[in-house]
Amino acid sequence: MFPMVRATRYLRYLIASLLVLLLAACTQAPPKFKGLDLSQVDWGGDFELTAHTGKRVKASEFRGKVLILFFGYTHCPDICVPTLAKLAAVVKRLGADAERVQVVFVTVDPQHDTPAQLAPFVANFHPSFIGLTGTAQEIAAVASDYKIAYQKAATGHGLKGAPQHELIEHFGGVLIKDAQGKLRLLYALEHTDADIEHDVRLLLKAKS
C-alpha cells in the first residue's frame, strides 16, 4: 500500500496522465467509417491483370487515388449490375473529387470475360471504370489474396435474358484501398452509395 501522501500524489499523477491520453485520443481519433475498417489486415497487395483495353495493368499504378475494387462477372444475373450502378452513383456524388478515385471491376469469369467483353460492360456504368481479366490462375491468385470466394454453380440465364450461361457464385462485397495502396475498407450489399461516398471523402481528406 502507498502511504496517504504518496498515494494522493500517485492518484494525481494518474489522473493527469489519463487526461493527457484522453486529450490525445480526442485530437487523433480515427475517422468514423461507415464500412468495415480493414486497416489492420496484411493482405490485399499489388497485382497485375489485363485491362479491358488489352493493356496489362498493376494495382500499384493507381497510387495517389482511392481505389474501389469489386469482383464479379459480366453475365451475373443479380448483384453485379446493382453494385456497379451504386459505384457509378458514388462517382457522380463525388463531383470533381472523382478524379482522385478509380473504380476497378475484376472478373471472376476469365473464361468468358475477355477484354472485348469487358469494355462495353464497364463503359455502360461509367466511362472511367476499368475492367480487369487474366488467366484463370491469375484471377484465382488475386481473389485469394483479397479473400474473394467464388465457384461455378448451375447453368442459367445471364444478364437480361441472355443465352444459357454458366453461373458463378461469388462474394459480393466492395473493397477500398487508400491513396497509398493500403487496403482499408469493406462494404456489404446493404451499404449505400452515400455510405461509400462518406468514407471515400474521409480517405481523400486524409491524403491531403
Number of domains within the chain: 2
Sign of CA dihedral 186, 46, 84, 204: positive
Residue 206 confidence (pLDDT): 86
Question: Does pTM top 0.75 for this prediction?
Answer: yes
Question: Which of 153, 169, 145 lies closest to 80 in space, CA to CA?
Answer: 169
Residue 23 confidence (pLDDT): 43
Q: Are residues 125 and 60 in the same domain?
A: yes
Q: What is the full per-residue pLDDT of the chain (208 aa) written as tens digits?
A: 333 333 344 334 334 433 433 444 444 456 699 999 999 999 999 999 999 999 999 999 999 999 999 999 999 999 999 999 999 999 999 999 999 999 999 999 999 999 999 999 999 999 999 999 999 999 999 999 999 999 988 665 555 554 567 899 999 999 999 999 999 999 999 999 999 999 999 999 985 5
Q: Are residues 69 and 12 in the same domain?
A: no
Q: Are residues 48 and 116 in the same domain?
A: yes
Cα torsion through 132, 137, 142, 145, rounded to 10: 170
Q: Are residues 8 and 45 in the same domain?
A: no
Q: Are residues 21 and 124 in the same domain?
A: no
Q: Are residues 18 and 94 in the same domain?
A: no
Q: Are residues 21 and 119 in the same domain?
A: no
> Measured between alpha carbons, how far is residue 5 from residues 17, 118, 164 in Å?
18, 75, 83
Burial 99-124 (b: 16+ CB within 10 A, else e): ebbbbbbbbbbbeebbeebbeebbee
Q: What is the CATH number of the domain that holds 51?
A: 3.40.30.10
Q: Are residues 124 and 196 in the same domain?
A: yes
Q: Are residues 12 and 86 in the same domain?
A: no
Q: Are residues 100 and 191 in the same domain?
A: yes
Q: Which domain holds residue 132?
A: 36-207
Burial 1-27 (b: 16+ CB within 10 A, else e): eeeeeeeeeeeeeeeeeeeeeeeeeee
Residue 156 confidence (pLDDT): 53
